[in-house]
């Protein structure tokens, strides 16, 4: 093996760390746990190096490893991975700020109440920039499953934060609604 191959792989892993940490935080919701998860992921990724197909999406590959690691840790700890739907939503009282514009803290709080599978789906699609196909691969499920999770997550966030997410262009959108939405 050549030094440069290893180095490239290392550089690529290094470059993936900020997004890995962000994904880990979204899953674990705790900075220390998230960083432990990232560390474990890097070690695993290094060990599995040979199974990575150069030219394919390294970020998706390490996300898959991190996600698997997260759920296997959860199982070991015997935690409930999934929150039961309505319970936490009911407990949450998010008051959107003026003008229907929500605060980032409101948003974070709302996001945290989502069931894990919905949260990871909406993060992968809406924030990490993966396609539905990639997200499905990362989560080991069907594309349709990801789509429905994203859509449920989105409706619940909208519900909790009381925003109309569809075409919020600011004041104009509101004006349009008031006038009876006939502007296509």
Partner 1 sequence: MRVITGYMVRRNRGEEISMKPHLTAAAGGQKKSENQGDALGVNSEIGRKLKQYYDELVSEDVPDRFADLLRQLERSENQPSTAESGE
Angle at 41 between CA 62 and CA 152, to 5 degrees: 60
Of 94, 86, 144, nearest in space to 115 by CA: 86
Three-state SS string over 44-110 comes to HHHHCHHHCCCCCCHHHHHHHHHHHHHHHHHHHCCCCCCCCHHHHHHHCCCCCCHHHCCCHHHHHHH
Q: In sequence order, which residues have a C-beta less than 8 Å from that of residue 156 and are 6 or more positions away? A: 89, 110, 114, 118
Which window, 31-39, 67-75, 84-92, 137-145, contacts partner 1 (CB under 8 A)? 31-39
In contact, 149 and 122? CB cutoff 8 Å: yes
Encoded tokens for 23: 């994904």
Q: Is 114 in the site for partner 1 (CB under 8 A)?
A: no
Which window, 69-77, 86-94, 136-144, 162-170, contacts partner 1 (CB under 8 A)? 162-170
Among 28, 38, 65, 114, binds partner 1 (CB under 8 A): 38
CB of 69 to partner 1, least distance (A): 15
Among 27, 28, 111, 138, binds partner 1 (CB under 8 A): 111
Q: Is 35 in the site for partner 1 (CB under 8 A)?
A: yes
Q: Is 113 in the site for partner 1 (CB under 8 A)?
A: no
62 burial via Cβ count (<10 Å: 0-12, 13-18, 19+) = buried
Q: Is 18 in the site for partner 1 (CB under 8 A)?
A: yes
Indicate the residue among 141 and 163 with the shorter CB distance to partner 1: 163
CB atoms within 10 A of CB 93: 7
Q: Is 29 in the site for partner 1 (CB under 8 A)?
A: no
In contact, 173 and 96? CB cutoff 8 Å: no
CB of 78 to partner 1, least distance (A): 27
Which window, 62-70, 72-80, 85-93, 170-178, contacts partner 1 (CB under 8 A)? 170-178
Indicate the residue among 75 and 108 with the shorter CB distance to partner 1: 108
Residue 118 CA to residue 146 CA, distance in Å, equals 8
List of residues contacting partner 1 (CB under 8 A) = 1, 3, 6-7, 10, 13-15, 17-19, 21-22, 25-26, 35, 38-39, 42-43, 46, 50, 100-102, 104, 107-108, 111, 122-123, 125-129, 131-132, 150-151, 154, 157-158, 161, 163-172
């Amino acid at each position: 093996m050549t030094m440069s191959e290893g180095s490239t792989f290392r550089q690529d892993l290094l470059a993936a760390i900020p997004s890995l940490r962000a994904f880990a935080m979204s899953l674990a919701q705790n900075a220390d746990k998230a960083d432990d998860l990232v560390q474990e992921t890097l070690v695993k990724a290094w060990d599995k190096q040979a199974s990575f197909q150069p030219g394919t999406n390294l970020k998706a590959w390490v996300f898959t490893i991190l996600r698997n690691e997260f759920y296997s840790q959860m199982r070991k700890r015997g935690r409930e991975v999934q929150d039961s739907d309505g319970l936490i939503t009911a407990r949450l009282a998010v008051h959107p700020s003026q003008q229907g514009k929500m605060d980032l803290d409101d948003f974070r709080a709302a996001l945290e109440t989502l069931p894990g599978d919905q949260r990871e789906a909406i993060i992968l699609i809406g924030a990490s920039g993966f396609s539905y196909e990639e997200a499905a691969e990362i989560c080991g499920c069907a594309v349709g499953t990801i789509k429905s999770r994203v859509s449920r997550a989105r409706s619940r966030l909208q519900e909790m934060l009381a925003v109309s997410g569809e075409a919020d262009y600011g004041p104009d959108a509101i004006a349009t609604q008031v006038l009876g939405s006939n502007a296509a």
